[in-house]
Amino acid sequence: MIVDLRSCSHPAEVDLCIVGGGAAGIALAREFVGTKINVAMLESGGNDFNAEIQALYDGESIGEPYYQRLDQCRTRRFGGSTNCWGGMCTPMTEIDFRKRAWVPYSGWPITNHDMQTYLKRAHKLCGIGPYAYDEDTWKVLGASAIPFDPDKLWSHFWQINNRHGDRQVRFAAKFRTELEQAKNIGVYLHANVTRLNLNHQGERVESLRIETLEGRTSTIKAKLFVLACGGIENVRLLLVSDQQRTAGIGNDYDAVGRYFNEHLQAPCATVKLNPKNVRFCDYSRLWPLGRSHALPGLTLSPRAQEKHQTLNASLSADPVFHADHAWTVIKNVRHDLAQRKLSVSALKNVIRILRGSRVLVPDVYRRMVHGGRPTGDPTEYTLYARAEQAPNPASRIRLTAEVDRLGMRKLALDWHTTEMDRRAFPVLVDAARTEFERLGLGVVQEHAWVREQAWPNTLAGGPHHMGTTRMSDDPRYGVVDRNAKVHGVQSLYIAGSSVFPTGGHANCTLTLLATTLRLADRLKKELARIVPSRAHVPAVLVPDLLLATQGNAPVRWTPGAGGR
């Protein structure tokens, strides 16, 4: 069931309480549908975007330039940031989980092998094509990879679910009916969790404080709790819960909020193709694959990373369309028409392009029907790099003295990049340049910033917020253990990319869904042990005294009727 907490209430106690109804929270809740476990999912947002709720995400950015304010890099609404994500998926690879001698604080306590079944399950949640991300995908597409030297560059794919009008999977929309109909799951919207309460001994979370923007406050108890509020907000809840432990929960070693890392993304080079060898065009195509598109990419091979003592990084290729290219002309005309003006030069260009309709028509068809990129006749490409950051304890999130509308202290992000973070870019571009020359594909011209000290103003983050409650078996270097349980607290777990010890180059959501499903399996076992066996599936019921009010008339909420 899905209920609006402004007009209904929640049970006093459940078996499992999930805070946050974004990608991780929804993936976790679904795992318990139809089980004997009573679940409450508390979500701050409602069904639609609301500026007042979004403002609760406000915070400062005081380190390297990031989004000006912290409410600009995530969405506080049922479904979380999947309401605005790009839907690009690719898994991490073996090296990303490994301890790399040259990367301080690297190494996950779990291996790529441990993650495989979960990645495949996570992949199914993203509404994309078959599980195909490595070089063999070229065969599935009926094409072949360019034989780049495997000691330098590896082929891989992203999948982007934007075919057949599907667009990106919005988790709330996709899984709403399933959650609405589940008798043992209660999704409470407009429920802001503002504090975690520990028991007297300070060793287990016993309850949570919930507030609505309308001033209702309540408490919910559970046997187990999971924070799934995203990589920034998970930190805030741990730090503001400082009644018994003054440094906050799980923060005995001052690790909460540290190691914040992003994917560093920027255009880094231009490729001019050899007119006699345009095979590289295939690497910029969005290839139809099942319900999704596959976008080819190149990653720095593990051997090159080790040889150059650098981080994982990848390249994708965007065709460059010059001002006279058909696609650019159409875009400009559309822009002119929206401004109610059409220049003579634009008209001349349209006539010229229409004469060349042999190229234009298939392009328009591809764009409109398949949502793909135009092929046209590009001979020039921008290479777009995505690189991981080395874990850095100085890159961190802290509480500030400022409070939000609910009286909760706000956050400041002090994001740092290091010399090591920079090193991957020249190594990646060098690998591309030498390989393009060797294979006669064309000329790679790096952008000036690649070897300079400053970042380009095109630098962007995912936005992927990783590392702030990282996984480590040693509580001095991490907030959660290998099972995503908060160190030193018996009943508290964390889901999401904040548990990543390192981020690889891969967009984070597929991996965070996989770690969440792994957590779900763990919680099922744990709950089977501590929840008394029940003869029937418990319904999450709104107690009698918790009558919803519409206007002045009390209304009994009916399970299964759904909320607003």
Which residues of this protein are in contact with ligand FAD, per CB under 6 A?
19-25, 42-45, 73-74, 76-77, 80-82, 84-89, 192-193, 228-230, 233, 237, 462-464, 496-497, 507-509, 512
Helices assigned H by DSSP within 209-343: 233-240, 302-307, 326-338
Please state the closest distance from residue 137 (CB atom) to ligand FAD, in A: 18
Beta carbon nearer to ligand FAD, 73 or 182: 73
Please state the closest distance from residue 240 (CB atom) to ligand FAD, in A: 9
Beta carbon nearer to ligand FAD, 330 or 519: 519
Please state the closest distance from residue 531 (CB atom) to ligand FAD, in A: 24
Helices assigned H by DSSP within 60-182: 94-97, 112-125, 137-140, 171-181
Beta carbon nearer to ligand FAD, 193 or 271: 193
Report residue 363 as tokens. 């392009």
Report residue 203 as tokens. 């060793």
Please state the closest distance from residue 152 (CB atom) to ligand FAD, in A: 26
Beta carbon nearer to ligand FAD, 41 or 298: 41
Please state the closest distance from residue 232 (CB atom) to ligand FAD, in A: 8
Beta carbon nearer to ligand FAD, 85 or 425: 85
Q: What DSSP string runs through 110-136?
A: S-HHHHHHHHHHHHHHTT-SSS--STT
Please state the closest distance from residue 482 (CB atom) to ligand FAD, in A: 19
Please state the closest distance from residue 433 (CB atom) to ligand FAD, in A: 28
CB 238 within 8 A of CB 487: no
Tokens 């994001």 sit at which residue?
415
Which residue's C-beta sits nearest to ligand FAD? 22
b/e map 115-152, b = 16+ CB within 10 Å: beebbebbbebbbbbebbbeeebbeebeeebbebeeeb
Beta carbon nearer to ligand FAD, 76 or 152: 76
Beta carbon nearer to ligand FAD, 40 or 269: 40
Please state the closest distance from residue 516 (CB atom) to ligand FAD, in A: 8
In order of 156, 299, 508, the CA distances from 90 in angstroms are: 8, 12, 8
Q: What DSSP string runs through 522-544?
A: HHHHHHHHHSPP-SSPPP----T
CB 30 within 8 A of CB 42: no
Beta carbon nearer to ligand FAD, 90 or 349: 90
Backbone phi and psi for residue 542, each to the nearest 5 degrees, phi listed first: -80, 120
545 CB-near residues (< 8 Å, 6+ apart): none
Please state the closest distance from residue 24 (CB atom) to ligand FAD, in A: 3
Angle at 57 between CA 126 and CA 395, to 5 degrees: 85
Please state the closest distance from residue 483 (CB atom) to ligand FAD, in A: 17
Report residue 267 as tokens. 């255009």
Using alpha carbons, select from 470, 462, 461 the residue that is nearest to residue 497: 470
Please state the closest distance from residue 26 (CB atom) to ligand FAD, in A: 7
Beta carbon nearer to ligand FAD, 250 or 462: 462
Alpha-carbon distance of 173 to 191, in angstroms, equals 19
The torsion region of residue 190 among left (phi > 0), alpha (psi -120 to 50) and beta comes to: left
Beta carbon nearer to ligand FAD, 51 or 338: 51
CB 158 within 8 A of CB 90: yes
Report residue 137 as tokens. 């995908």
Beta carbon nearer to ligand FAD, 309 or 400: 400
Tokens 């106690």 sit at which residue?
13
